[in-house]
Amino acid sequence: MMRAAIFDFDGTLTPLTLDFSLLRAKVEEMAREYVDESVLASQADQYILEMIHGVADALAEEGPRFRQRAFQELRLLEVESARGKSLYPYAKGTLLRLRSKGVKVGIITRTCIEVIETVFPDLAGHVDTVVTRDDTRYVKPNPEHVRLALEVLQVAPREAVLVGDHPTDIEAGRALGTLTAGVLTGRTSRAQFVNAGADHIFDDIRGVVGLLEGDR
């Protein structure tokens, strides 16, 4: 039985507007004040958040200072990108429908809470928990991110579905043992979701409501 639905945010509940290349360039520019190119090269295959932690871990006393500055810059850029943005028009109705059927709803995101509050100021009436990067260093694709959300919801992984627009969402859910659903509203193709091992692939999050039919 499906007792919880955990959603990614950007690209899943709202259009994806972040320029990840710009974000990375800004963080790398700042990192060059602290480390040489060899350290940056060692982080080339990491996502932005993991790169920040990797550079900070490579530093000694300056590590905390760099981490603070980098996340502050990232936060400013993310919030600016979120201004004027809205949820997909069907998002709130879908979340409320799930909750009306007894399904607990959560959001996990690699972004900061200010972005969520900017785009979704009334989220408290639509979701039961939100876990951002402010709550854990180990964000998706690390399954710890999902585990924290399910811990708050008091739902076992096998009773939950993780919904997102990127293979990292599928990876995190599979690692913890949830059902997974990819939505085609972001930057990932159907074939990429198939390759990632998604249990379900929907045009958008409204497809999740249909999973409840299988519980009956």
Please give the pLDDT value at position 208.
Answer: 97
Report the greatest alpha carbon distance in the chain.
58
Asked whether residue 122 falls in the same domain as residue 199, the answer is yes
State mean pLDDT over 156-162: 98
pTM: 0.94
Same domain, 46 and 90: no
pLDDT of residue 215: 53
Same domain, residue pair 49 and 107: no
Question: What average pLDDT does the structure give for the chain?
Answer: 95
CATH number at residue 149: 3.40.50.1000
Closest by CA position to 162, among listed 151, 172, 148, 152: 172
pLDDT score, position 214:
64
Query: Which of 56, 82, 108 is the last residue in one of the domains?
Result: 82
Identify whether residues 8 and 24 lie together within a single domain: no
| Last residue within a domain, chosen from 32, 59, 82 | 82
SS3 165: coil
Same domain for 56 and 24? Answer: yes
Tell me how far apart the alpha carbons of residues 97 and 170 are, in angstroms, rounded to a whole number.
23
In the predicted structure, residue 60 carries a pLDDT above the cut 90: no
Q: Which of 32, 47, 82 is the last residue of a domain?
A: 82
For the chain, counts of helices (H) and of strands (E): 10, 6
Q: Are residues 47 and 118 in the same domain?
A: no
Average pLDDT over residues 125-154: 97
Write the DSSP symbol of residue 7: E
- Mean pLDDT confidence for 122-140: 97
- pLDDT above 90 for 1: no
Full residue range of the structural domain in which residue 51 is found: 20-82
**Residues ≥6 apart with Cβ < 8 Å to 99:** 105, 126, 128
**pLDDT score recorded for residue 189:** 97
Domain co-membership, 35 together with 139: no
User: pLDDT exceeding 90 applies to what percent of the chain?
Assistant: 91
Cα distances (Å, whole numbers) of residue 19 to 26, 42, 59, 66, 82:
11, 22, 27, 22, 11
Q: What is the mean pLDDT of residues 91-111?
A: 97
Indicate if 103 and 171 belong to the same structural domain.
yes
Question: Does 136 share its domain with 47?
Answer: no
pLDDT value at position 216?
Answer: 38
Question: Mean per-residue pLDDT for 122-131?
Answer: 97
Are 129 and 28 within one domain? Answer: no
Share of the chain above pLDDT 70, in %: 98
* pLDDT band with cut points at 50, 70 and 90 for residue 36: very high
173-194, pLDDT tens digit by residue? Answer: 999 999 999 999 989 999 999 9
> How many domains, the chain?
2
137 with 184, same domain: the answer is yes
Q: Say if residue 76 is in the same domain as residue 154.
A: no
